[in-house]
Amino acid sequence: MKYELQSGSRSILIAGLLLFIIAVFIIRLFWLQVVQHDYYVGVASREQVRRLVVPADRGEIYSLDMGVPNKLVLNQTVYTVFADPQTVSQPDEIVKSLDEVAGGNTRDKLKDLLTAKNSRYQILATGLTDTQAEMLKDKGYAGIGFQKENQRVYPEGSLAAQTLGFVDGEGEGKYGIEGGMNSQLAGKDGLLQSVVDVSEVPLSIGGKNIKQPAEDGKDVVLTIDRNIQHEAEKALKKGMKKVGADEGSVVIMDPNSGQIMSMANYPTFNPSKYFKVKDAAAFNNPVISDPYEPGSDIKTLTMATGIDTGVASAKSTYVNTDHITVADRTISNASKGETGRITFQHALNWSLNTGFVTVLERMGGIEGKTGHATINQQAREVLYKYFHDKLRLGQLTGLPLAGESAGIMIGPNNHAYGSLPVRYSNVAFGQGMDITMVQVAAAFGAIINGGDYYTPSVVAGTIDNDTQAFNQKTVEPTEKKVIKKQSSRDVTKMIHEARQAFYASHDKKGYYVGGKTGTSQTLENGKYVDNQTIATYLGYGGSDLKNLNYVIMVRLSGKGKNLEGGKHAMPVFTDISNWMLDYLKLAPGDKNA
- Residue range 454-460: average pLDDT? 98
What pTM was estimated for this model as a whole? 0.84
Residue at 288 is within a domain: yes
Query: Between these two residues, 231 and 417, which has the higher pLDDT value?
Result: 231
Choose one of 194, 223, 252: the last residue of a domain: 223
User: Tell me: the pLDDT tens digits for 183-230?
Assistant: 999 999 887 666 665 555 555 555 556 677 889 999 999 999 999 999
Instruction: Specify whether the CB–CB gap between 148 and 267 falls below 8 A.
Output: no
Does 315 share its domain with 235? yes
Residue at 202 is within a domain: no
Using only C-alpha atoms, what is the Rg of the chain? 36
Choose the weakest-confidence range: 293-297, 341-345, 560-564.
560-564
Number of separate domains in the chain:
2
Instruction: Specify whether the CB–CB gap between 124 and 107 falls below 8 A.
Output: yes
Q: Which residues pair with 231 in a beta bridge?
A: none
My answer on whether omega of the bond before 91 falls inside 30° of 0, hence cis, is: no
Residue at 95 is within a domain: yes
318: domain CATH number is 3.40.710.10
Does 216 share its domain with 243? no
Instruction: Specify whether the CB–CB gap between 143 and 116 falls below 8 A.
Output: no
Does 362 share its domain with 432? yes
Give the mean pLDDT of the chain. 89
Does 325 share its domain with 402? yes
Choose the weakest-confidence range: 17-31, 386-400, 452-466.
17-31
Choose one of 171, 198, 223: the last residue of a domain: 223
The C-alpha atoms of residue 259 and residue 164 are separated, in whole angstroms, by 16
Using CB atoms within 10 Å of the CB of residue 261, give its burial: 0 to 12 exposed, 13 to 18 middle, 19+ buried. Answer: buried
Choose one of 223, 249, 273: the last residue of a domain: 223
Does 176 share its domain with 266? no
Does 134 share its domain with 253? no
> CA 93, 99, 102, 108: dihedral to nearest 10 degrees?
100
87: domain CATH number is 3.90.1310.10
Residue at 26 is within a domain: no
Does 277 share its domain with 218? no
Does 304 share its domain with 405? yes
Query: Between these two residues, 173 and 108, which has the higher pLDDT value?
Result: 173
**pLDDT category of residue 469 using cuts at 50, 70 and 90:** very high
Instruction: Specify whether the CB–CB gap between 297 and 538 falls below 8 A.
Output: yes
Q: Where are the strands (E) in 363-445, listed by range?
A: 372-373
The answer on pLDDT for 1 being more than 50 is no
Does 308 share its domain with 180? no
Does 109 share its domain with 248? no
Residue at 191 is within a domain: no
The C-alpha atoms of residue 324 and residue 140 are separated, in whole angstroms, by 86
Q: Nearest-5° angle of CA 327, CA 331, CA 337?
A: 140
Q: What percent of the chain has pLDDT over 90?
A: 65
Per-residue confidence (pLDDT) for residue 31, from 0 to 100: 63
Residue at 444 is within a domain: yes
Per-residue confidence (pLDDT) for residue 126, from 0 to 100: 84
Instruction: Specify whether the CB–CB gap between 214 and 71 falls below 8 A.
Output: no
The C-alpha atoms of residue 506 and residue 459 are separated, in whole angstroms, by 33
Per-residue confidence (pLDDT) for residue 353, from 0 to 100: 96
Pairing of strands 173-174, 166-167: antiparallel
Residue at 356 is within a domain: yes
Residue 404 structural domain: 225-583
User: Tell me: the pLDDT tens digits for 551-582?
Assistant: 999 999 988 889 999 999 999 999 999 999 99
The answer on pLDDT for 43 being more than 60 is no
Instruction: Specify whether the CB–CB gap between 221 and 470 falls below 8 A.
Output: yes
Does 391 share its domain with 407? yes
Beta-carbon contacts of residue 136 (< 8 Å; ≥ 6 apart): 81, 97, 98, 101, 102, 128, 144, 146
Residue at 571 is within a domain: yes
